[in-house]
Chain A
Amino acid sequence: MAYLTLERRQKKSKVPARLDVAQSLTGLVLGLFILGHILFVSAILLGPEVAYKVDKALEASFLDPEGHGYSYLVSLAAFTIATILIVHAGLGLRKFPASFRQYRIMQDQIENLNHDETRLWLMQVVTGFILFFFGSAHVFAMMLNPGQIDPYLAAERYFGHGMWLFYLILLWAVVVHAFIGLYRVLLKWGWLCGKPRQARRTLRVVQRVLTAFYLLVGTMSILYYVKLGYERADLPLQKYGQEIQGSSSSTHP
């Protein structure tokens, strides 16, 4: 008697394994990207000059003899992020409740079970759903409008165009989603240091602290931009770069 297993005619597909890995990897990349992105945006808290320098450095101005940088790099980065985002969203969709019945079961589970992680999962679904729209809109706007990244233009968008609410929703959804996601991806694959249970408790604390920190810094940056936009509302619209060039040319006629 050999294996008691019945001979199977067909081997199982490896696709589910690949999809699972892809969902985690795309999530990991997006999560790490957002950690850096929000910090770079919050450079505005140190003033428009710092924000301008950060913007230019990210456009690789240090490689440009004229010091302007290459704004298409932003489009390129946005294109890459958009692609990863679409793949991640598509893969994440598989985990959504597929019917009202499934949704009701999860609601019931969350209401009855006093269980943090099950609630976290629902928050992932809700924030993920918001990011389908807000996240995509943001990356596509960035991709299709190169050269628009500038402290004053941003301030005009936040205040003059009334985009602050859009960014506020986007910020909260993305921060909550990213940190829950990063925490869960580490547990999912067991990429933990030390004893798993202790590591999980530590990670949960780190996740909460970082979420609070990023929400605070992000929200303050949005408020700063709104304030800057309000202060500049009556001034003619120009880039910060143009202003500093203008002022330097006036002092050296």
Chain B
Amino acid sequence: MNPSAEKNPTQAPRDLTFRILRYNQHLPGDKPRVQEYHLQEALGMTIFIALNWIREHQDPTLQFDFVCRAGICGSCGMIVNGEPRLACRTLTRSYENPEITLLPMPVFELIADLSVNTGKDMRRMAERVESWIHDPEQDKIDISALEPAMEPEVAEEIYELERCIECGICLAACGTRRMRKDFLGAAGFMRVARFYKDPRDKRTADDFYEVLGDEHGVFGCMTLLGCEDYCPKQLPHQEQIAFLRRKLAST
């Protein structure tokens, strides 16, 4: 079914042109090129819906990632008209110009077309910041006993930082990360801030300094604030990076 079946009664549907970077390095002889696709806009159409329609009706070879189509899984990050966005959270009608250019996110390893391997980078990030509770006494904890209660405010604060979906948009929006590939980036800082605030993690500021205290870590951040302004979950990146900077600078 053409998605334009669901029409806006007051306005004729627009004809959209998608200019999409096509390149599959795993196909011998394949060269990067921009391919155009045309379709009619539908009411409430997102980039994600449009891409699925293209794949279903026009080009089954087009590769892109998605799982949840609701901004939760963080799979469909891509560059829409120059800006990193989640395809499933970006309405086509938010673009006045009916020509929309889609590119894969930079920074990450390209799988093919719009599909990039964010998982690999996020895994590396998690290992680098040791994204788990550190407690030297953990073997003495009686796991059959009830855990001590946490203050609701603390739990909420941790939960707020835990909302990161690892879509990688903060890294694609970060000029520093693009320029310097060893720079940790906002997703990593958010993760550290999350453990910093968790009372169960016994790491001190000195311990976190060992993780973040250099030019690839928090002192390399040039406050370009792409992370803060493009994060699809509106996580408080600027606030948390400033928090880490203050804490680690005073160690």
Contact = CB atoms under 8 A, between A and B. Distances in A.
Contacts of B225: 117, 187
27 contacts: A1-B138, A5-B130, A5-B134, A8-B210, A11-B210, A12-B210, A13-B214, A14-B209, A16-B214, A16-B219, A17-B219, A20-B219, A102-B179, A109-B175, A113-B82, A115-B173, A117-B229, A121-B224, A184-B223, A188-B223, A188-B242, A189-B245, A190-B239, A190-B245, A190-B246, A196-B242, A197-B236
Contact of A118 (B138, B224, B248): B224
Q: Which bracket fits the contact residues of A?
A: 35 or more
Contacts of A117: 223-226, 229
Interface of B: 79, 82-83, 130, 132, 134, 136, 138-139, 173, 175, 178-180, 207, 209-210, 213-215, 219, 221-226, 229-230, 236, 238-239, 242-243, 245-246, 248-249, 251
Contacts, number: 102
B234 to A, nearest CB: 9
B245 A188 contact: yes
Nearest to A112: B82
B83 A114 contact: yes
A95 B222 CA distance: 8
A200 B238 CA distance: 10
Interface in A163-206: 184, 187-190, 196-197, 200
Contact of A16 (B79, B134, B213, B229): B213
Contact of A121 (B83, B222, B249): B222
Interface in A107-159: 109-115, 117-118, 121
B179 A189 contact: no
A2 B136 contact: yes
A94 interface: yes
Given A16-B219, A102-B179, 17 more contacts: A4-B130, A4-B134, A12-B210, A12-B214, A14-B251, A17-B213, A102-B180, A106-B175, A115-B229, A121-B222, A187-B225, A187-B242, A189-B242, A190-B239, A190-B243, A196-B242, A200-B238
